[in-house]
Amino acid sequence: MLKCRTVWKKLAPLARASSTLCRQNVRRTALNNGRTPAYVPAAHMSSGPAGGGRANQIYVLLVGAACVGGGVYTYRTVKGDGQRYQERIEEISSRPIKTQDSYIQTEPPAVEATETEAVPEPEPEAAPSSEEPSPPAADVEAVIPPETSEAPPETSEAPPEISEAPPETSEAPPGDSAAASLKVPSHAPYLLIGGGTASFAAARSIRARDPGAKVLIVTEEPDAPYMRPPLSKELWFSDDPSVTETLRFKQWNGKERSIFFQPPSFYITAEELSSAENGGVAILTNRKVVHMDVRGNKIKLDDDTEISYDKCLIATGGVPRNLQVIERAGEEVMQKTTLFRKIEDFKELDKVSRNVKSITIIGGGFLGSELACALGRRSSEFDLEVIQMYPEKGNMGKVLPEYLSNWTTEKVKSEGVKIISEALVKSVVSKDDKLEIQLKDGRLVKTDHIVAAVGLEPNVDLAKSAGLEVDSDFGGFRVNAELQARSNIWVAGDAACFYDIRLGRRRVEHHDHAVVSGRLAGENMTGANKPYWHQSMFWSDLGPDVGYEAIGIVDSSLPTVGVFAKATAKDTPRAATELSGTGIRSESETEDTATSPVASSTPAPSGSHKDEYGKGVIFYLRDKVVVGIILWNVFNRMPIARKIIKDGEEHSDLNEVAKLFNIHDD
């Protein structure tokens, strides 16, 4: 076509000149005819008009010949160019495409394999289909320069290099890091930082609202998202000696399940995420996000890999706190101290409990009391001494009213645990292969291993680089009602400090909150724009026979009113899971709502059961309004408790309110 255009440019001036000359001759002929004398013989007219008539015919013929010749030449040129273009395409299609280190086949899956790992059996002679010459270049994102297709000598020398690549890769483990970096997608439409419950709930919510969504989870842990509650509950009561490997456990109702939310087949690999037609959820394990550029919408991993995103969720959870006296005690003490949080911590403590004679748990909250009961069950089997110490007067003294805390302490003691209350640790030293814990009141405790269960510190490491606000009172990333920290950044789970429309600004560290806040964040990431109004609950089990569920602000410093009744065989965590069919009670109850609860018609017993707290309801009050409720061995009634707190009304007789929970029914 270029040649045709050139020829036309050359012929056009000639055609225009010929046309102009013809018009001039016509005008001259007309003028000459006007001056011709009348006596000119008519015989002269037979040969045409005088003064240039013949020249005009010659010019017309010349223009016609030029047009015909140009058309013929153009036709032949276009046809020839088409043939040469087709031959060129066939030549290019028959060549293998060369990258820096290996060949990439034209089918996308083969391209991914070449990018991520060495090809054990290269086939450079296999020519790709001539019908699909362009997809490889698109898949490798311009790694192959255009000049590659025009350099046959370089391409022809590639096969010998490839045949030597596999041995080099197998003998050079450091090269694996470079291959691994190729597996990380450069862009993720939905990026979730953290691999816990909140992150998984968000991923599931995003996929529910956007079935084609591409979600990437980046987690420091080596495992896919899993449930944390069984780590301190059901897993310790398993009869399977290989439970630390299978991570499967029997719930209180006897049904078996895995600690992981989904099997590996649920997820796709990170390198498949970009090309997945129907989207999916991919996980990058053992990767830490060290920097966040909120203006550029990208993050940097600990290996300097950068990933851009459209929308991002921060669900980094928290880090177990430790006592400063233990941190200052030195490496030898730290090696014999467990900060319980992850699967690795469960495996380590399980191994330690089978090989030492004494374990001391520091902390009297939910986690410390659950682990004390779990290890106490092993005390007789493994000749293990289990000690629990805390600064309060009784177990869960910061949550339960004093009378119920004392009752709980006796329950823990009955499990074979030695309780040391009102204990403030002064120092910890390693001496004679033992750890000596010196208390401020002079008491000395010797033990083989320490479990520090003294709370959680929200992980806000990204706040500085991202420029996100951290709440000075509660810790965690400060977010608005939609759990947003920025226009395209959300926070959920333990790391989120949110505003509760009933109870004010809060930060919650429980499983149910992680589920609900993660779900809501995922919905809002897909455009729902919903405010966070849900009152999350939490639960704790002291074995299969005693457990409670709580909602709202449960602080022992608040005034409380407790209404109790005699428990029956069905008023246990075991019976509750048999009824609901799940050991993770929040997963079944969070979808329920309370609708016009009907009070029990059975009257309350006339005489109170002194020191017998089989089952009951404890109301926590602030300004005469119920702000928190604990259901003690009362299960599957949480929607009612949630509605009472949501209503925010004053109640003159809480005994009547307690009837809504049917605690006096057998």
Instruction: Please spell the DSSP secondary structure of 349-398, one letter per residue.
Output: HHHHHTT-SEEEEE--SHHHHHHHHHHHHHTTTTT-EEEEE-SSSSTTTT
What contacts 90, CB < 8 A, 6 or more positions away?
Answer: 130
CA separation, residue 473 to residues 477, 483, 505, 507, 513 (Å): 11, 18, 9, 10, 19
Inter-axis angle of helices 511-525 and 197-209, to 10 degrees? 30
pLDDT of residue 152: 36
Q: Specify the amino acid at residue 557.
A: S
Phi, psi dihedral angles at 84 (to 5 degrees): -65, -35
The helix/strand/coil state of 173 is: coil
DSSP 241-279: TTHHHH-EEE-TTS-EEESBSS-GGGSB-HHHHTT-TT-
Across the chain, which has 666 residues, the per-10-residue mean pLDDT values are 55 58 53 46 44 69 82 78 68 48 35 36 37 36 36 35 34 38 84 97 97 97 95 89 91 82 95 93 96 96 96 97 95 96 96 95 94 90 93 94 92 93 96 95 96 96 94 95 94 94 86 94 95 85 80 93 84 63 48 43 40 85 93 90 92 91 76
How far apart CA 277 and CA 442 sit, in angstroms, is: 67
Residues with Cβ within 8 Å of 45's Cβ and at least 6 positions away in sequence, in order, are none
DSSP 8-state class, residue 96: P
Angle, nearest 10°, between helix axes 175-182 and 108-116? Answer: 150
From residue 96, alpha-carbon distances to 131, 150, 159 in Å are 14, 12, 10
Q: Whole-angstrom distance between the N-terminal and C-terminal Cα of the chain? A: 94
What are the C-alpha distances in Å from 196 to residues 140, 231, 456, 492?
A: 32, 14, 15, 10
